[in-house]
Chain A
């Protein structure tokens, strides 16, 4: 039987399976590893504290059961407000994101300068965390759900603005060029090509945004921006862990329902003919 090398003589262009990494790469990797180990200390990682904290965790979890249903009605009302904040905030945010994204997308923006400015605004809005926006709006418009809704609007613009713009940029340029060649106007082309083609991706992003908004509106209450978060904070501070457990369970049901509904909607809307 012939040796494999006789059948397929090694090509001079074929490289070895493994190659020695360059000194620069090895150095950078060592540097990263060192930084990671140093960060373990910086992040306060301590096995000892974890072990010492275990009994406390056990106590809290023990006190959580059975969950207390004595304040069920105000909690349900707060859950409803949380969902309403998320829904209205996402709805308005998605609507405002469309013109922002059109100005920010390479193929629909009227001028590179407009595109640059809009992109910068969207990036800025996205980079500032939602809790910081919530604190800003609580100070500006006062405590309550309005501050939370404004936060969700701004947060949605940061999220959807970027992804809508990317969806517009990914649209096949063919149909748009074909309609340009017959003398149609840019607004018409946006309405009949860009938006219908990007719609599946936009619906996806919008529904993800709703899920994200529901989760974040839970936390917003912690800084006084309305919703169930305030109830949770009060229960924890008053050591009513059984009440907190009920709130957490209610939040879980809300988030689960929204995610379930959003994935069903996604399936239905994406197959529909317009």
Chain B
């Protein structure tokens, strides 16, 4: 890879009045019990629809916690989060779960059910919208849902592996099945927590290229945490950086360089 990578995704900075916010975070703070230091303090940013944003920071800087606080998988101490204009702050129980059903989540580990086929795992993405045996196994699913699951697998380039058990897939393929499962939700925003951390460099590139392609073709907002400054530069429109419990960087990726971002880890 080039030391100074050029962004693959063309920046889409449009006049603020013309685009709607996909994610808006205001004054978010989190402090874990039993520790002196805040994980992060007073973090505010917003992500436009269709934008691809990378969140970088050293180990333990609180990137994953911030990502999880955005959908209240971890409860923030204070602050406000809105998803597509819908305030999540006051919601609890079922209302919160309903608000989350258009948020796709891809984790560091693929988190698939290993004994089931790729197609069945993708179908599980539909559980975000409707409950019941129809989404438990591909053999019980409605024809249109099976077709949609197959389309999602096609989009990640794994249609040929639909009936393969997930424990027989490679790490990169499994992560792509996890992305297909997130697509099955028809998400408006996709969160990814170090999606390439457990992959070899080549598989990691494939996964990141997939995110970039999906972001472009489906106008999907992508918010990903990464340790690879090259990935942030190459695949994101914009880079956020967490350091010393604060959001110290928020700039378009084309105005940053590998060297300037590496300083961020010092």
Contact = CB atoms under 8 A, between A and B. Distances in A.
B220 to A, nearest CB: 15
B105 A193 contact: no
Given A174-B107, A181-B71, A181-B73, A191 B136 contact: yes
Interface in B79-105: 96-101, 103-105
Interface in A5-48: none
Interface in A156-185: 174-175, 177-179, 181-185
B105 A178 contact: yes
A175 B112 contact: yes
Given A192-B136, A273-B163, A274-B137, A184 B113 contact: no
Contact of B127 (A174, A177, A184, A274): A184
B120 interface: yes
B60 interface: no
A187 interface: yes
A95 interface: no
Nearest to B185: A182
A196 B103 CA distance: 25
Interface string A177-211: 11101111101100111001101100000000000
Nearest to A195: B136
Contacts of A191: 133, 136
Interface in B112-137: 112-117, 120, 124-125, 127-128, 131-133, 135-137
A270 to B, nearest CB: 9
B111 interface: yes
A179 B99 CA distance: 14
Contact of A178 (B71, B97, B101, B111): B111
A274 B128 contact: no
Contacts of B127: 179, 182, 184-185, 188, 192
Contacts of B107: 174, 178
Contacts of B98: 183
Nearest to A191: B136
A183 B105 CA distance: 11
A235 B58 CA distance: 79
Contact of A192 (B103, B104, B113): B113
Contacts of B137: 192, 274
B175 to A, nearest CB: 12
Contacts of A182: 100-101, 103-105, 125, 127-128, 182, 185
B216 interface: no
Contacts of A274: 115-117, 120, 137
B113 A196 contact: yes
B115 A187 contact: no
B136 A183 contact: no
A181 B113 contact: no
Interface of B: 71, 73, 96-101, 103-105, 107, 109, 111-117, 120, 124-125, 127-128, 131-133, 135-137, 163, 165, 178, 182, 185
Given A184-B124, A192-B135, 7 more contacts: A174-B107, A174-B111, A178-B178, A182-B127, A188-B127, A188-B135, A193-B113
7 contacts: A175-B113, A182-B125, A183-B97, A188-B131, A192-B136, A196-B113, A200-B115
